[in-house]
Amino acid sequence: MPHEVEVDLGIMDPDYVNIVFNGHEPWVGVATILAARDPQVQAQAREAGARGVRVTGSIESGQEVLQRFAIDEVFRGLTGNWLTIEPLLATGTVDVFAMDENCSPPWLAPYAEKYGVTLVCVYDLVRMPGVEKHLDYKPTEVAGQARELIRLGIENFKERHSRIMPRVPRRMQKAIAGFSTEAVLKALGGRLDSLVDVLKAGKIKGVVGLVNCTTISTGLHDYMTVGLARELNRRNILIVSGGCGNHALEVAGLASLEAAEQAWEGLREICWSLNIPPVLSFGTCTDTGRISMLVTAVANHLGEDTSALPVAVTAPQYLEQKATIDGLFALAFGLYTHLSPTPPVTGGPDLVKLLTEDLEGITGKKVALGDDPVQAANGIEEHINKKRAALGI
C-alpha cells in the first residue's frame, strides 16, 4: 500500500556501513535488509566504529523494495536511476555495491579504488573488469550471502571511513511509493465510478503511463522525463509511472504530496481530496503489466476497448531492451505510445509505416515521436481530447 519514502543521494550517511544493491531483482537486497536487522550484526558494525549497518537501493532493485518496504533505520530508501550510480560511488559513502542482472556500468573499478568501494557481482550474468568478488544469488544460500555482504561491508568501512573524505549532497526528497490497482481503488472508496466521474467532469482529463529508462541522448539527465511529466500534470493529466523514469519523478519531487501544487486546478483538487500525488509510483520498468490491470479495470467497467479510453503511454528517454518490450505491449494493448528518442529502425521503411500509420487500423494505436516535452505533451493531450470527445465526456 502507498507509504512515504525517501530518495536521492542525500539519504547516504558516511558514518554507517552502507550496503547498496543495484540491478533489477530484489532478492539479495531483501535478504540483506533482513540480515541487517539482527542486533548482533548492528553490534558488529558499532565495534568497527560505525553507527550501524544500513541497506539502500539503487535503480530497479531498489525500486522493487521501495514499493514494498517502509523506511526505517536499516532500509534507507532509493538513491536514483542508473545515471546516478557513478555520482553515488563518488560520495565516498558506499562500502559494498552489490550488482545483479542489468544496468550496472561496466567500468566501475576506478571508482571503487578512488572512493573505497567493494564491488560484488551477485548474479551469474554480471561480470566486469576489475571485479573479483562473486556471490551469485542462489535461493537456498541467499541468507548466508547477505551476511557475507555485510561482513565485507564492515571490513570495507574500517578503511573507507579513515581514508575517504565523503561528499554527500544535502538534498533528500520525500515521495509516496507503493501504488497498485488495489491501492487506487481504495483511494477512490472501492468504486471505479468515482474515477469515471472525475474523468467525465474533466478534473482529470486523462491518464498517462510513463514507463522508461533514462539517457542523455536527448538532453540532460532526466530532462525529457521530468519536463514532460510537469507539462502533463499542468494539463490535468494524471501520471502512473514505472522504471528509471519513475525514479526521476520521485527524485524531482513529483511523486510527493506537495507536487499537487504544481498541477492544474482539477487534478490539484483530486490530489488534495484523495491525499495522493499527481504522479502515482507503481514501480519498475517490468511493472507494465500491473499498470495495464488498472486500464483493463476501467475499460471493463465502461464496456469499452482499451483503445477507446483517454489513456496514453510515454517512454521518454528510453534506452534498452525492456523498454522495447514495454512499447510493443502498449501498442498491442491499443494505447497511443510516445517514444523518445526515435527508435533505430528508420532504415526499414515498411516497419516505420507499420508503427506510425498502419498499426492504428490493427490495434487502435500507433507510435508518436518527439524529443521536446511541450510538443510531446501537446500530442498526448490532443489524443486524450479526441478519446474524450468520442466517449462523449
Angle at 366 between CA 309 and CA 59, to 5 degrees: 85
Q: What is the pLDDT along the chain (393 residues), one digit of tens a residue?
A: 899 999 999 999 999 999 999 999 999 999 999 999 999 999 999 999 999 999 999 999 999 999 999 999 999 999 999 999 999 999 999 999 999 988 999 999 999 999 999 999 999 999 999 999 999 999 999 999 999 999 999 999 999 999 999 999 999 999 999 998 888 888 877 788 888 899 999 999 999 999 989 999 888 999 999 999 999 999 999 999 999 999 999 999 999 999 999 999 999 999 999 999 999 999 888 778 888 888 998 999 999 999 999 999 999 988 877 777 888 889 999 999 999 999 888 999 999 999 999 999 999 888 999 999 999 999 999 999 999 999 998
Cis-peptide into 129, omega within 30 deg: no
Residue-wise DSSP of 88-134 = HHHTT--SEEEE-SS---S--HHHHHHHT-EEEE-STT---TT--EE
What pLDDT, on a 0 to 100 scale, did the predictor assign at position 48? 98
Residue 337 confidence (pLDDT): 95
Q: Sign of the CA dihedral 140, 142, 144, 148? A: positive
| Interatomic CA distance for residues 199 and 237, integer angstroms | 10
Assigned C-alpha cell, 328: 510493443
User: Which has the closest alpha carbon to 17: 101, 99, 86, 116?
Assistant: 116
- CA pair distance 246, 226, nearest whole angstrom: 9
* pLDDT of 192: 86
pLDDT at res. 322: 74
Query: What cell numbers appear for 39 in the block?
Result: 542486533
Residue type at 231 in one-letter notation: E
Domains of the chain from N-terminus onward: 3-163 (3.40.50.2030), 179-391 (3.40.50.2030)
Q: Residue 367: what residue type?
A: V
Spatial CA neighbour of 3 closest among 174, 122, 216: 174
CA 72 to chain centre: 20
- Output phi, psi for 24, to 5 deg: -135, 0
The DSSP result for 198-252, as a single string, is HHHHTSS-EEEEEEE---STTSSTTHHHHHHHHHHHTTTEEEEEEEHHHHHHHHT
By residue count, the chain amounts to: 393
**Mode of pairing for the β-strands spanning 3-7 and 173-177:** antiparallel
